[in-house]
Amino acid sequence: MNRARRFGTVIGLVVLCAILWILTPYFLTVSNLLNIAEQTSINAIVAVGMTFVILSGGIDLSVGSIVALAGVVLGLALRDGQPLALALALTLAAGLVCGLVNGLLVSLGGLPPFIVTLGTMSIARGAALLVTEGRPISGFAASFRVLATGRVGFVPAPVIATAVVYLAAHVALAGTTFGRYVYAIGGNEEATRLSGVAVRFHKTMIYGVSGLMSAIAAVILTARLNSAQPIAGMMYELDAIAATVIGGTSLMGGDGTLAGTLVGALIMGVLRNGLNLLGVSSFLQQIVIGGVIVVAVLLDTVLKRNRM
Amino acid sequence: MTIAPPPLEMRGIRKAFPGVVALDGVDLTLHAGEVHMLLGENGAGKSTLMKILSGAYAKDAGEILIDGARVEIGGPRGALARGIRVIYQELNLVPQLSAAENIFLGALPTRAGLSGLVDRRALHERTARLLADLGMTIDPRVRVDRLGLAQRQMVEIAKALAPADERSAAARVLVMDEPTSALTRREVEQLFALIARLAARGVAIVYITHRMDEVFRIGQRVTVLRDGRRVASRPLGEVTVAELVRLMANRDLSDHFPKVRAPLGPELLRLEHVSRAGALADVSLSLHAGEVLGIAGLLGAGRTELARVIAGADRCDEGRVIVGGSPVRFRGPADAIARGIGLLPEDRKAEGLVAGLTMVRNIALPHGRRLSKAGFLPPARETALATPIGDELRIKATPTQPVRLLSGGNQQKVVLGKWLAGDVRVFVFDEPTRGIDVGSKVEIYNLMNRLTARGAGIVMISSELPELLGMSDRIVVMHRGRIQAQLDAAEATEERVLSAALGLAGGIGEKNFNGDKDTKAGFAGG
C-alpha cells in the first residue's frame, strides 16, 4: 500500500512536469532540470531529518533556525581562518548538538516535541543573531564555495551531496536497527519500550539526525550564498514538513518513506521553478504551493480511505 | 392473517478483501424481540458481517431486506435511518462531555427561538427519562470520563436507543459486540436485564460473544460462522455447548484445558517483600522451572502492576527481585529481557504490538541488537528469525501484512512470538487469552505446555477462573495489592479463589459463584 501511495506521488510529479513542459518548453531542458535539482537540494536534505522525526511520531520546528546557527558557526570559523575540515566539523557538531538537545528535552524531559522545538527554534535563531550582532558574514575562499558551485561532470555538487545523504539515510532507515526503531517508536512507543528497545536513547538520536541534516544544509546554503546569514533558513521547517507530508509520511508516525519525501521535495522545487518560469508573482506562488500541499494530502487521505 | 416479514434479513452476503474472502454467501434472519447469538472464531467474519449491516463496509454481493423489502444500507447514516444500531467493543463516547450530551450528541435540544443554544434543562430531563426508562441509575450531568467502564457502556446503549431525531429511526436492530468483556458480575446482570426488556419491546438483538454460558443464558437462536460461511443457524434449545464449539472450530475441543504437568526445576524467579506505592504491598512469591503460577484477583487488585514490576516496566519501591539466584535491579524492560523475562501485556494493541509493522518486524523487535552487526540489520535476518516462530504458532499472516489487519488470536500469537526467539525463561502472561477465539486459546494453552516442558516458568494473570484452575500448578490470589492466599492446583476451587480475591481470608464459598461463568466477568480488568 506504501507502493500505491508513492506511485501516486510520482504520478503527480510527472503530471506537473508535463503541464509545465507544455506551458514552457524551456522547463524540460537539462540545464533547467539540474537547476531544479540544485535548488531542491537544501530542502530535500532538511526534509530527511524531518522524515526521521515525523516517522518517530514527533515534529521538529527548529530546523530552519539550526540551519542559520550552524551556518553562522561555519562563517565564524572560516573568517577566523580555521582549516576547512575543522570548520566543517564544527558546523556539523553544532547542528548535531542542537538536535541532541531537542532530543534530550523530548525524551528525558518528556515534553511534547512541538513545544520543545518551538522553543529551540527561537533560541537557536536568537543565538545566531546574537553572535553575529545580526550581520551576515560574507566572502569566503573559492576552495569552500566549490561545495556549492562545483560540478562533478555536469552534476552540481549539491545534487551529489543530496544523493549521498539520501543513500546513507536510506541505508540507516532500511538496513539498521536504528531505522527499525524509528518506525517502531512512531508506531507504538510503549510496545517498543516493553520490547526492550532503548526508546529514550533512540529518540534523542533521531533529533540528533535532524540537527545534523540541518547543518549539512547550512554548509551548502552558506557556500552558495557566499555568506552566512543569521536570518537564513526562515520557514525551512514548513518546507521540510510539506515535502515529508506530500511524500506520504503520516504525521501520526510509523508510516512513510524517504523516497516519498524526495519526491515531495521535488514537487515543491518543480512547482517553484515552473511558476518562476511562467512569471507568476511570488505572492501567487505561495497560494499555489499551499494549495498543492492541501490537495496532495487530501488525495493521499482519499486513496487510503479507498483501500480500506 | 399474514405473518409479518422479519424486521431484518441478510441473504447471500459476500465480501472480499485483497487476498481474502471475509464473507462467502452468509444468510442471517432476525425476528422481532429475539436475542440472536452470533458465534465464530476470530476471523470467521462476524465483525465484517456486522460492519456491512451498520453501513461501515459495502457488500460485494447479496441482499438486505428490512420488513421484507430490499434496501441498500448505503452508509452509516443509512443504517441509522433504518433503525440499525451497533455498539462496538471500543466505546465511542466523548470523555469530556456529560452523559446527557453524549447521548443526544447529534440531536441536542435547543432553546425555542435560539437554535444555537442548548436547552440544558430539557436535555437533562430527557436524558433522565430515558435512563429511568432503561432502568439505569446514572446522573445525566456527570462527565463520561468520571464513569466506570460499565456505566460508559450503559451510556453507549442509551445513546443507541435515544429517541429518534429527524435523521434516524427508532432502534429496531441492536448489535452488541462482546458487551460483557469488561463488566463485573453485577453489571452483567444489569445488562442482561436491560437486554431482556429491550427484546420484550420488540427490538431484535444480535449478540456477539465468546462466552458459552451467555449464549445459553440470554439467547433464543444462534448463528455460527466459520471461515466466512454460515455453518449453522438454530434455536438454542436444540444445540449443546460441545456442538457449538465443534461447529465453530470444526474440531473437537472436549478438553479446553490440555494441561500437561512438567517436572519442576530450579527456582527461576523470587520476589521478596516487593512493594510499590499505591499498587503492591509486601508481595513475596517464587516461580520454578516447569511451573505455571496463576495470579488471581479482582479489578485493581494489583495483578497487572505485579506483572509490570516483574518485567521491569515499573520499578518497585521496596523489596527484592531475585532472578536465577541473584538479586536484580531493573532500570527498564531491557534489563528484565536481558535476564530472560518476557512480558505479554494485558492490552496487546496499546502495549504489545506496533500495529503498522508486519509480523516479522514485530517478532524481531526485541532481538534487534542480537541480530544486528555493528548496527546493521539486514531484513533477511529478521525473516529467518521470525518465520519459524510464525510457523510454530501457526500465525496466519502474509509477509507484507501489517499486524493491525490480523485477527485478535493471530495478533496475540505475534506478541507471544516476540519472546519465543530469545533466551526467555520467565514468561509473564497478562490475560493471554482475552478476547480471542476458542481455537487460538487452545493453541496458547498447548504452547504453555511446550514452554514449561522446555524448562520455562510462566506467571499467568487471568480473569478467567476456569482457565486459572485449568492451567496453573499454583495460584496466588491478590487482594488490594497484597497476596491474600496461595493455593496448590489440587486444593484450588472457584469458591476458594473467589473468596480470597474478595478479601475473605477464611475462604467462605458462595454457591452462586460456583460454575457460573459470569464470575469471570467479575474478574475483568486489573
Q: What is the pLDDT of residues B106-149, one digit of tens each?
A: 777 777 776 678 888 888 888 898 888 877 788 899 998 888 77
Q: DSSP code of B351?
A: I
- Pairing relationship of beta strands B229-235 and B318-323 according to DSSP bridges: unpaired
Tell me the pLDDT band of B43, cut-offs 50, 70 and 90: low
* Burial class (CB within 10 angstroms; exposed 0-12, middle 13-18, buried 19+) of B206: buried
- Is B260 domain-assigned? no
**Shortest Cα–Cα distance, A171 to chain B (Å):** 9
What is the DSSP annotation of B307-359? HHHHTTSS--SEEEEEETTEEE--SSHHHHHHTTEEEE-S-IIIII--TTSBH
Give the domain extent around B104.
Answer: 94-163
Give the pLDDT confidence score for residue A298 in this predicted structure: 83
Identify all chain B residues contacting A188, using CB atoms and an 8 Å cutoff.
Answer: 350-351, 353-355
Note which residues in 217-276 of chain B have CB less than 8 A from chain A: none
Per residue in A221-264, pLDDT (tens digit) is 999 999 999 999 999 999 999 999 999 898 889 999 999 999 99
Is residue B315 assigned to a domain? yes
* A chain contacts of residue B375, beta-carbon cutoff 8 Å: 176-178
Nearest to A178 among B334, B355, B375 (CB): B375
Q: What does the domain layout of chain A look like in residue ranges?
A: 42-264
Residue B409 shares a structural domain with residue B471: no
Residue A151, C-alpha cell as written in the block: 560540478
> According to the model, what pLDDT value does residue B42 have?
63
For residue B197, pLDDT over 50 is answered with yes
Same domain, yes or no: B517 and B430? yes
Q: Choose one of B230, B254, B278: the last residue of a domain.
A: B254
Check pLDDT > 90 for residue B212: no
Side chain identity, residue B115? S
Same domain, yes or no: B65 and B141: no
DSSP string computed for B442-470 = HHHHHHHHHHHHTT-EEEEE-S-HHHHHH
Instruction: Give dist(CA A205, CA A173) in Å, integer.
Output: 13
Residue recorded with cell 436547552: B119
Strand B69-71 and strand B61-66: the pairing is: antiparallel
Provide the pLDDT confidence category of residue A98 given band limits of 50, 70 and 90: very high
**Total residues belonging to chain B:** 526
Residue B123 in grid coordinates? 436535555
The share of chain B scoring above pLDDT 90, in percent, equals 45
B379 to chain A, any CB pair closer than 8 A? The answer is: yes
Do B330 and B429 share a domain, yes or no? yes
Write the pLDDT tens digit of every residue in B475-513.
999 988 999 999 998 888 877 887 788 776 544 333 333
B346 lies in some domain:
no
Residues of A in contact with B351 (CB under 8 A): 188, 190-191, 194
- Residues B226 and B371 both lie in one domain: no
Residues from chain A that touch B368, judged by Cβ atoms under 8 A, are: 177, 180-181, 197
- B88 within some domain: no
Q: What CATH code is carried by the domain that includes residue B173? A: 3.40.50.300
Task: Write down the pLDDT at residue B414.
Answer: 95
Q: CA-nearest residue of chain A to B346?
A: A191
ipTM here: 0.87
Answer whether B351 sits within 8 Å of A196, measured CB to CB.
no
Query: How many CA atoms within 13 Å lie on the side-chain side of B124?
Result: 10
Residues in chain A: 308
Buried b vs exposed e over B61-73: b needs ≥16 C-beta within 10 Å?
ebebbbeeeeeeb
Q: How many angstroms separate the CA of residue A186 from the nearest CA in chain B?
A: 9
The CA–CA distances, whole Å, from B372 to A228, B357, B376, B387 equal: 41, 19, 5, 17
CB contacts, 8 Å: B313 with chain A = 193-194
The verdict on a CB contact (< 8 Å) between B357 and A187 is yes
The per-residue pLDDT for B438 is 78
d(CA A47, CA A53): 10
**Rounded to 10 degrees, what is the CA torsion of B454, B345, B179, B169?**
-130
* pLDDT at residue B328, as a whole number: 94
A182 neighbourhood in chain B, CB within 8 Å: none
What proportion of chain A, given as a percentage, has pLDDT over 70?
96
For residue range B273-291, list pLDDT tens digits in order: 999 998 899 999 999 999 9
Tell me the DSSP string of A95-118. Answer: HHHHHHHHHHHHHTT---HHHHHH
Contact A243, A264 (CB under 8 A): yes
Distance CA A24, CA A15 (A): 14
* Residues B434-465: b if buried by 16+ CB within 10 A, e if exposed: bbbbbbbbbbbbebbbebbeebbbbbbbbbbb
Answer yes or no: is pLDDT of B26 > 90. yes
- Chosen from B15, B357, B372 to mutate, greatest number of chain A CBs within 10 A: B357
Q: Which residue has better confidence, A202 or B215?
A: A202
Residue B222 has pLDDT above 90, yes or no: yes
- CA-based nearest distance B363→chain A, Å: 9
**Domain assignment present for B150:** yes
Q: How far is the C-alpha of B343 from the C-alpha of B341, rounded, in Å?
A: 7
Q: Examine the domain organization and report whether B333 and B450 are in the same domain.
A: yes
SS3 A251: coil
Q: Is residue B438 located within the same domain as residue B507?
A: yes
State the Cα angle at A91 between A85 and A92, rounded to 5°: 90
Tell me if B63 is assigned to some domain. Answer: yes
- Do B69 and B177 lie in one domain? The reply is yes
Query: Which chain B residues in 316-345 lie under 8 Å from chain A, judged by CB atoms?
Result: 332-334, 336-338, 343, 345
Q: What are phi and psi of B8, to 5 degrees?
A: -145, 135
Q: Are residues B328 and B380 in the same domain?
A: no
Look at B350 and A178 and tell me if their CB atoms are within 8 Å.
no
Instruction: Check whether residue B437 and residue B515 sit in a common domain.
Output: yes
Q: What residues of A are in contact with residue B357 (Cβ under 8 Å)?
A: 183-184, 187, 254
pLDDT over threshold 50, residue B150? yes
Contact A165, A209 (CB under 8 A): no
The 10 Å Cβ neighbour count of residue B466 is 15
Task: Give pLDDT, residue B505.
Answer: 57
Q: Do A96 and A208 contact (CB within 8 A), yes or no? A: yes
Residues of B with CB below 8 A from A191's CB? 345, 350-354, 365
Q: Which residue has the higher pLDDT, A5 or B353?
A: B353
pLDDT given at position B296: 92
pLDDT at residue B522, rounded to an integer: 38
Residue A125 in this model has a pLDDT that exceeds 80 = yes
Q: Evaluate whether residue B392 is within a structural domain.
A: yes
In the sheet that holds B35-39, the strands lie side by side as B84-87, B173-177, B204-208, B35-39, B221-226, B229-235
Is residue A6 predicted with pLDDT exceeding 70?
no
Average pLDDT, chain A: 93
* H or E element that contains A51: helix A30-55
> Containing H/E element for A147?
helix A142-149
The number of folded domains in chain B is: 4
| CA-closest candidate to residue B457, choices B477, B472, B468 | B472
Q: Is B399 on the interface with A (CB under 8 A)?
A: no
Whether residue B261 is contained in a domain is answered as no
Residues B412 and B440 occupy one common structural domain: no
- B434-460 confidence digits (pLDDT tens): 878 778 888 999 999 999 999 999 999
Say yes or no: B78 and B173 in one domain: yes
Q: B53 falls in which pLDDT band (50, 70, 90)?
A: very high
Interface of B with A in 356-375 (CB under 8 A): 356-357, 361, 364-366, 368-369, 371-372, 375
Distance CA(A236)–CA(A223), nearest Å, equals: 17
Q: Is the pLDDT of residue B517 over 50?
A: no
- pLDDT at position B256 is 64
Tell me what pLDDT residue B520 has: 37
Interface test with B, best of A1, A56, A194 (most B CBs within 10 A): A194
Mean pLDDT of B65-77: 88
The rounded distance, in Å, linking the Cα atoms of B150 and B154 is 6
Boundary (domain end) residue, out of B254, B280, B303 = B254
Q: What is the mean pLDDT of residues B226-232?
A: 88
Decide which of B37 and A7 is more confident.
Answer: B37
Amino acid identity of A55?
L
Least confident of A131-135, A241-245, B397-401, B500-504: B500-504
Min Cα distance A254 → chain B (Å) is 7
**Shortest CB distance from B365 goes to which of A176, A197, A254?**
A197
pTM for this one?
0.76
With residue A94 as reference, give the H or E element that holds it.
helix A84-107
Average the pLDDT over B387-401 and give the result: 90
Task: Using an 8 Å CB-CB cutoff, list chain A residues near B355.
Answer: 187-188
